[in-house]
A and B are shown apart, each in its own frame.
Chain A
Amino acid sequence: MSTKEIVARCEQLFEDLDFSAVKQWKAAAPGRKAIGYMPIYVPREIVHAAGMLPVGVFGGGDQLEVIQGDAYYQSYICRIPRSTLELGLTGRLDCLDGMLFPSICDVIRNLSGMWQILFKDKYVKYFDLPQTYDDATGGSFYVHEMQTLRADLARLAGREITDDQLRASIAVYNDNRRAVRELYAYRAKKPWQAPTSEVYLLLRAGCVLPVEEHTRLVRQYLAQADLEKRAQRDNARVVLTGAFCEQPPLGLIKSIEMAGCYVVDDDFQLVQSYLLEDVSAAGDPLEALSRAFLHHSAQTSSKYDEKKEDKGKFLLHQVKTRGAEGVVFAAPSFCDPALLERPMLQEVLAKHKIPYTAFKYAENTGQMAPIREQAGTFADSIKLWSAA
């Protein structure tokens, strides 16, 4: 497949709000099950080891008309829970046999209880992640939480999930994470060759495709992208942060790029890059996943920073290692984690003299002109007035 064909396939998967790929996967063999998960992070390895398909549910985007979902929320609640409910209430998520709601914020937390009430025949789990990071305390709790998930899924699958199966799944996901890391590294090196609007679609394909197929697709894209020479522009290199849950419309990502920004790092699909190093595929698999989460995972605003000095370290690391010249704070309206975190990160950036700009969006934002103008002005300011 050419780059264009790969991107077209990913776009088709992205736009398909009926989750046909999931249905096809289930139909290919009797008894197959799929488990949905919401942002930011769940250990998909456990779902995979149960022989099930983990499916990322990141709202309904800008193509879904939300009617029923709006009836459950006040105007001051973000959009992702409404569109997710809309997907559920209109039967589009019937292909999922269960849903996981990781601890990210109070809105997603409460949605887990709403799901229990509205979809009584489905498996629903609020998946708590520890906010203390030592193995003895946070680790023990987290291992127990994963053990519960493992037992629940085993019941659903009608078979045990063995340690060997978990270790095999860890290896499969390690490979996927490596591929995603390669993709991010390549884009940072040659952002004109791998535009973020394409990289994003490639990552979103990982929400619905089996992980092995997604890994192959990412590697195929990398090989193809390098063959096709594209024009290099004098764009500003930026890290985009704050978009880890409700996703911006694709048009917004394109607008930022068209305005003169190369996005060289982002947090759109953290689940795929959350664990920063390979997880050990030897020994106790749940303990290995726990250690990876506790000691080698990305910083994000739904996770507690133990020390004041830790605040913003990961963002600074992204800026430094990707050679970024500025940061774009893009947060969904009414997103507590992103918006409460933002002033602290901005203070850290200001101390390091790293320019930034900030705006809010919703997954169905339609007016791109203000964002294009803001991103364009930001890119110009970097290019014209930065110290370099």
Chain B
Amino acid sequence: MNTAAAKKAVVKDDAMNLQKEMIAENYHQLARAHQEGKKISATFVPGNLNELLMCFDFVRRLPETDALQNGMRKKSGKMIMDAERDGHSEDVCTYVKSDLGMMLQGEVGPTGEAMPHPDVLLLSYTGCFTFMKWFELVRQKYGCETLMLHVPYQGDGRINPAMRDYVVNQLKDKIIPALERISGVKFDIDRLRSYMRESQKAEEDLVRVLQSAKQRPSPIDGYFGGVYYIGPIFTAFRGTPEATRFYATLRAEIEERVRQGKGPVTPEGEMAEEKYRLVVEGPPNWTSFRDFWKMFYDEGAVVVASTYAKVGGVYDFGFRHDAERPLESLAEYCLGCYTNLNFPQRIDMICKYIDEYQADGLLINSIKSCNSFSAGQLLILREVEKRTGKPAAFIESDLVDPRYFSAANIKNRLESYFQMIKQKRAAAVH
């Protein structure tokens, strides 16, 4: 694969460039925060209470984003090995080890700027067991104050009032008073409401963008390209006017592509012909992100919908942040994140995507680090095949550990899979 050529002339649309600038600016703010007398919070992407944290003027850090940024910049491998040398098992999540390794290496962030300690770790315990241990490990090392927000799992496939009340009560009685104390800023519910109104606008535009992939050809790639589209809303920007502007710009850009009948923008330019339409389950690999993507667009494969694009919030089935019921709505947002859904719900969602987005099949990228996503995915594969009659395929990689990305194996698998889809189509015609 000619990665050098791919790197030389990376093509991005305007919105992709804009989101890159936003994320870079957030890293600048983090680096300067303590010098400017600002406090830093850290929290996770699923169950990210960005609007609430903004009410207390925190500069916001998301450790998963730090890890993936380090992965994309090829820095995570050494960080992971440093963490393993420091006593962390080779069996556990590489996001955690990348984060701990980054700290061990002198607390320099992905952009090369300083990455100061957070003043508070908001442990939004949503859909991932590892989150709990991750922040306990950070606390153990650096003594940061940690606030647990326990978000119950949708074991029965629904949110019952007791689950919502539990989260709301924690917010009211524990989280908000603690954030007031740590930040020195009094909580103002109207301020929260105003951020949530902004969130709603951005969410509406994001859904239109993601659902544009129902068109043929799809104007977007809902997985690789989707990563750029979900970036701001899943991280430090949901609820900000910048995010609202970003999603309005993005939506306009995508609607224009639809009008012109264009396919998605790839790092090597516009995709010429859409040959395969896929739904993907599981996060991407970050260390070889572009090589991975190239395996798809070289074959004319577009991801029309992905579950990963729902990990920081499921908006395409109607949920919006509701400024009229701010705390209840924050609770429902957390409870509804993709990895907090049970298996039957996840399978239903994937089947619906295959149907509504007229996909040729399901591809599962199974991630070694992430048991929340991965444990049981082979049953998802069987069930989806059974229910939709569409072929499914399974590949394995990791989030940020370069040792677990075998390009040749994955490419072989994908090529066979595309062949299988072709044969199925031919069989259907005859």
Contacts and interface: CB of A to CB of B under 8 A. Distances in A.
B153 A311 contact: no
B96 interface: yes
A337 B376 contact: no
A77 B137 contact: no
Given A136-B173, A334-B91, A340 B375 contact: no
Given A76-B368, A77-B371, A117 B153 contact: no
Nearest to B96: A340
Contacts of A304: 123, 125, 132, 136, 148, 150
B87 A343 contact: yes
Contacts of B140: 308, 311, 344, 347
B148 A131 contact: yes
A278 interface: no
Interface string B103-146: 00000000000000000000101001110111011011001001
A81 B92 CA distance: 17
A74 B366 contact: yes
A106 B170 contact: no
Interface string A48-79: 00000000000000000000000111101100
Interface in A324-367: 331, 333-337, 339-344, 346-347, 360
A111 B375 contact: yes
A336 B169 contact: no
A110 interface: yes
B289 interface: no
Nearest to A74: B366
A220 interface: no
Interface in B338-354: 342-344, 346-347
B129 A74 contact: no
A106 B129 contact: yes
Contacts of A311: 136, 140
B73 interface: no
Nearest to B149: A132
A329 B163 CA distance: 35
A112 B152 CA distance: 14
Given A76-B91, A106-B129, A344 B136 contact: yes
Contacts of A74: 366, 368, 374, 377-378, 396
B272 interface: no
Given A103-B153, A131-B150, A141-B162, A77 B375 contact: yes
Given A76-B368, A109-B153, A137-B169, A126 B148 contact: no
Interface in A102-158: 103-107, 109-114, 116-118, 125-128, 130-132, 134, 136-138, 140-141, 144-145
Given A126-B342, A132-B174, A141 B378 contact: no
Contacts of B88: 343
Contacts of A145: 162
B156 A110 contact: no
A339 B369 CA distance: 13
A116 B374 contact: no
A5 interface: no
Given A346-B87, A347-B140, A105 B129 contact: yes
Interface string B373-405: 011111100010000000000001000000000
User: Which of A111, A112, A343, A346 has its CB near the most chain B CB atoms (within 10 A)?
Assistant: A343
A328 B86 CA distance: 19
Given A106-B375, A304-B148, A340-B133, A116 B153 contact: no
A337 to B, nearest CB: 7
A132 B155 CA distance: 19
A130 B137 contact: no
Nearest to A125: B155
A388 B196 CA distance: 63
B155 A340 contact: no
A113 B372 CA distance: 12
Nearest to B144: A308
A97 interface: no
Given A74-B366, A76-B368, A107-B375, A128 B152 contact: yes
Nearest to A137: B169
B30 interface: no
B368 to A, nearest CB: 5
A175 interface: no
A8 to B, nearest CB: 37
B132 A343 contact: no
B174 A114 contact: no
Contact of B371 (A105, A117, A342): A105
User: Which of A101, A144, A346 has its CB near the most chain B CB atoms (within 10 A)?
Assistant: A144
Contacts of B54: none
B359 to A, nearest CB: 21
Given A117-B343, A311-B136, A344-B140, A132 B148 contact: yes
B296 to A, nearest CB: 22
A301 interface: yes
Contact of A113 (B132, B174, B344): B344
Contacts of B375: 73, 77, 81, 106-107, 110-111
B378 A73 contact: yes
A358 B163 CA distance: 38
Contact of A336 (B133, B155, B166, B173): B133
Given A76-B368, A77-B374, A126-B155, A117 B347 contact: yes
B416 interface: no
Contacts of B376: 72-73, 81, 110-111, 113-114
A138 B174 CA distance: 11
Nearest to B163: A141
28 contacts: A71-B378, A74-B377, A101-B155, A103-B153, A104-B129, A113-B344, A113-B376, A116-B343, A125-B155, A127-B155, A130-B150, A132-B170, A136-B173, A137-B166, A137-B170, A137-B174, A141-B162, A141-B163, A141-B166, A301-B133, A306-B148, A333-B91, A336-B93, A336-B371, A339-B92, A340-B137, A343-B87, A347-B140
Interface of B: 86-89, 91-93, 96, 123, 125, 128-130, 132-134, 136-137, 139-140, 143, 146, 148, 150, 152-153, 155-156, 162-163, 165-166, 169-170, 173-174, 342-344, 346-347, 366, 368, 371-372, 374-379, 383, 396
Given A105-B371, A131-B150, A341-B136, 10 more contacts: A74-B368, A101-B155, A106-B375, A114-B376, A128-B153, A132-B170, A138-B150, A141-B162, A333-B91, A339-B91
